[in-house]
C-alpha cells in the first residue's frame, strides 16, 4: 500500500523503519534521563513523541488502511505532518539562535552579590545542570570573596529538600563560608528565583540598584537577564555554566517552551 506520509517519496517500509528507529532513540534517551531523576518538559515530550513514533511503526499497515478509508482523514494527516514539520523547523531555528547568543553576558564590574538559580535536585543531589551551575558559582565566590551568595530554589514535587538547601550544602562542602550563603527556598520558577531573592539581598545590605551577578546555565542567560530586568534588577549581569552534552538538547527543548510561555505570560 502506498505511504500517505508527507516528504520524499520513500517506500512505506522505509517510513515505517525510520519512525521506529527515531522513536526508539527518543524513548531510550528519555528513559536514561528519567532514571537519573530528571523529569521536565524537555525529557517528557521526547518520551511521548518517541512512544508515538514506535506505536506508529508497529501499527503502520493498520494506520495506512484507516487513512485510505476516507479523503478527510488523509487531508487531516497531511495537515498534521505539515504542522509537525513547521514546528520542528521553529525548534531548530530557536536552537540555532540560542547557540549563537547563549553564554556569559557579565561586565567587568564587580558585583555586590551573586545569585545562583536552581535547576533540579533529584534525590537530594544536584542535577548535572545544577552541578555545573554550582561549580561556576564556586569560581564566582572565589573571585569576589566579600559578597553574599544567594542560592535560590524551592522543593519540587518529587523531593523533600529544597534546591536551595542542596545548593547551600554543596557550596559549604566545597569551602564557601556559611556566613556568605543565603538560601531562598520558596521559588519554583526563574521569575520567583529572582523576585524572592530581592528581599534577601536587601537584608544583606545590597542596594536595589547594585550590580548583581546571576549564575545560571549557558542556554538560560538571555532569558534570566530579561526576567531579572523586568522584576527590578537594574544592573544585572549573567554568567552561564556549560550544559552537559547528554542533557543539552533536552534542556534546549525545555528552554524553547519556556521562551514561548514567557512571552505569553509577559515575563519579559
Q: What is the pTM of this model?
A: 0.79
* DSSP annotation string for 163-175: HHHHHHHHHHHTT
Q: What is the pLDDT along the chain (268 residues), one digit of tens a residue?
A: 444 444 445 566 788 888 888 889 888 888 877 776 667 676 788 889 889 999 999 988 898 888 888 889 989 988 998 998 999 999 999 999 888 877 766 677 899 999 999 998 888 899 889 999 999 999 999 999 989 999 999 997 666 899 999 999 999 999 999 999 999 999 999 999 999 999 999 999 999 999 999 999 999 999 999 999 999 999 999 999 998 888 888 888 888 988 888 888 776 6
Residue-range domain boundaries for the chain: 12-101, 113-264
Neighbours of 197 (CB within 10 A): 27
- 128 three-state secondary structure: helix
How long is the chain? 268
Q: Which helix (H) or strand (E) holds 115?
A: strand 113-117
Give the closest residue to 29 by CA, choosing from 251, 202, 219, 263. Answer: 251
* Pairwise CA distance, residues 9 & 3, whole Å: 9
Please state which CATH number belongs to domain 113-264: 3.40.50.620
Amino acid at each position: 500500500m502506498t505511504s500517505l506520509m508527507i516528504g520524499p517519496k520513500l517506500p512505506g517500509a522505509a517510513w515505517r523503519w525510520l519512525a521506529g528507529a527515531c522513536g526508539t532513540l527518543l524513548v531510550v534517551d528519555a528513559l536514561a534521563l528519567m532514571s537519573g531523576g530528571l523529569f521536565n518538559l524537555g525529557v517528557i515530550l521526547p518520551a511521548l513523541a518517541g512512544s508515538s513514533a514506535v506505536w506508529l511503526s508497529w501499527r503502520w499497515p493498520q494506520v495506512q488502511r484507516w487513512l485510505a478509508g476516507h479523503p478527510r482523514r488523509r487531508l487531516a494527516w497531511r495537515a498534521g505532518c505539515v504542522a509537525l514539520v513547521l514546528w520542528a523547523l521553529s525548534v531548530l531555528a530557536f536552537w540555532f539562535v540560542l547557540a549563537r547568543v547563549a553564554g556569559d553576558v557579565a561586565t567587568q564590574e564587580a558585583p555586590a552579590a551573586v545569585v545562583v538559580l536552581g535547576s533540579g535536585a533529584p534525590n537530594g543531589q544536584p542535577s548535572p545542570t545544577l552541578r555545573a551551575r554550582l561549580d561556576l558559582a564556586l569560581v564566582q565566590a572565589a573571585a569576589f570573596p566579600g559578597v553574599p551568595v544567594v542560592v535560590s530554589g524551592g522543593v519540587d514535587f518529587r523531593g523533600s529538600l529544597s534546591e536551595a538547601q542542596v545548593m547551600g550544602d554543596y557550596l559549604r562542602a566545597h569551602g564557601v563560608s556559611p556566613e556568605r550563603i543565603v538560601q531562598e527556598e520558596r521559588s519554583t520558577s526563574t521569575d520567583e528565583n529572582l523576585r524572592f531573592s530581592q528581599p534577601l539581598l536587601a537584608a544583606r545590605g545590597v542596594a536595589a540598584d547594585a550590580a548583581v551577578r546571576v549564575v545560571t546555565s549557558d542556554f538560560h542567560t538571555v532569558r534570566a537577564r530579561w526576567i531579572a530586568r523586568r522584576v527590578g534588577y537594574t544592573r544585572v549581569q549573567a554568567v552561564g555554566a556549560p550544559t552537559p552534552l547528554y542533557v543539552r538538547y533536552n534542556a534546549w527543548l525545555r528552554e524553547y517552551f519556556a521562551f514561548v510561555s514567557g512571552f505569553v505570560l509577559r515575563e519579559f
